[in-house]
Amino acid sequence: MNGLHSLATGRGEEFLCGDPEQFKPPVCSAPTPDTRDEPPTSQLEASSFLSTRCWSFPELLGQGRRFKAIKRVHHASGGSSGSNEADEAEMGGIPIIVEGWDDHTLWPREMFSADWLIRNHGAEAIKVRNIRTYAETEVQLSDWLHRARSTPGDAYNLDSERSYAKDAECPEEWKKWLYLGVLPEKILPRRFGDLVTYFPSDVRLQSLMCYFGVGDTLTPVHKDLCGSVGQNLMCYTENGGSAYWFMTASSDSLAFSRYFREQGLAIDLENHALTIEQLAKAPFDIYIGEQKLGDLVIVPPACFHQVVNHGGITMKTSWSRMTDHGLRLALQQELDIYRRVCRPETYRCKLMLFYAIQALSNALSSEPQS
């Protein structure tokens, strides 16, 4: 409770009393993007069209003086099963990849496959985005998977359509697997340390999503919502599928924003993917990693990152956790940015702080007096 107490007695002290309804975000008169979505077609930057043709991890690292490889650790090393690495990434502000989960005896290789999805969830509708135009359409999951299997691994021929299923609903069977004890409970959503657990069940945020992509689909430069910690697990790949991550340290967040704006770009609209040349000129470290099957990428709070899929089909599941450290960042810097661009904060941070302190205070008051 110490972290929450310091928040409440600092900038957060005004959130300790009163009706929780007062903490609802104000109505904004300007247009706002949908939750977790990038802006509409008209705002898409042309240079967001990258091609991974001929990319290799060693060659990418050699193209920038301040390019660094994201640290990799095996989940079985040190006996922490990745929980210590999650702490290291969050508090140190440096991204990390915990690898080897696909070698675990309980890894559900069949359930995490495209064929299993076609058989069990193929008729379900998913929203896909054409990254060429950012136009969204709704298709059956089986149709998208069949089409993706026939899509070339790169868009070097400048094809007019390359679709990406972003923020798709995670199958219930996949959700249940997360809580079977393979991944450390500490990094799972709505578990110890995730302040979302203090929300009443009817207002909790659902952050667990799936991402189904193919080579040269991408997610533009962005930060995870409101200073939260991100976790992204590669569940399935075909034909050499992987994902390249380009990331900053949390401490370089402001420097990255300045660098982005110096190039005439609007960082807070999340509609631009930087080229390798632009990243190489950055006056701070850029961490690069190639996420393959069984790799869990841990994204620190306030870490700018963009993700470019490579090769064949990639299927990932992703979720966020809001810790007291992340909540501090949100209250002290992230929410000011959201207000400036009139963007929904999604996590409702002040309300979260209210419920967390209320629950912890009730727990303390119910303890027997010594």
The reply to whether 295 falls in a domain is: yes
Q: What 3-state class would DSSP assign to 287?
A: strand
Task: Report the chain's mean pLDDT, rounded to a whole number.
Answer: 84
Per-residue model confidence (pLDDT) at position 277? 94
**Would you say residue 5 has pLDDT above 70?**
no
Q: What 3-state class would DSSP assign to 258?
A: helix
As a whole number of angstroms, the distance between CA 174 and CA 209 comes to 10
Per-residue model confidence (pLDDT) at position 135? 87
The reply to whether 57 falls in a domain is: no
**Would you say residue 180 has pLDDT above 80?**
yes
Could you report the per-residue pLDDT of 26-74, keeping only the tens digit for each? Answer: 333 333 333 333 433 334 444 446 889 889 999 999 999 999 999 999 9
pTM, full prediction: 0.85
CA atoms within a 13 Å half-sphere pointing along the CA-CB vector of 22: 7
Among all chains, which residue has been given the structure tokens 């299997």? 149
The reply to whether 222 falls in a domain is: yes
Q: Which domain holds residue 333?
A: 95-360
Give me the CATH number covering residue 322.
Answer: 2.60.120.650
DSSP states along 27-69 = P-SS--PPTTPPP-GGG--GGG----TT--HHHHHTT-TTEEE
As a whole number of angstroms, the distance between CA 37 and CA 86 comes to 26
The reply to whether 28 falls in a domain is: no
Residue type at position 230: G
Q: What 3-state class would DSSP assign to 367?
A: coil
The reply to whether 143 falls in a domain is: yes
Confidence class for position 158, pLDDT limits 50, 70, 90:
low
The reply to whether 30 falls in a domain is: no
Per-residue model confidence (pLDDT) at position 366? 76
The reply to whether 193 falls in a domain is: yes
In this structure, what are the phi and psi dihedrals at residue 207, rounded to the nearest 5 degrees?
-105, -10
As a whole number of angstroms, the distance between CA 273 and CA 44 comes to 10
Nearest C-alpha neighbor of 221 from the set 269, 155, 261, 163: 269
26's tokens: 């104000």
Could you report the per-residue pLDDT of 76-113, keeping only the tens digit for each? Answer: 886 666 678 888 888 999 999 999 999 999 999 999 99
CB of 350 closer than 8 Å to CB of 251: no
Q: What is the domain count for the chain?
A: 1
The reply to whether 370 falls in a domain is: no
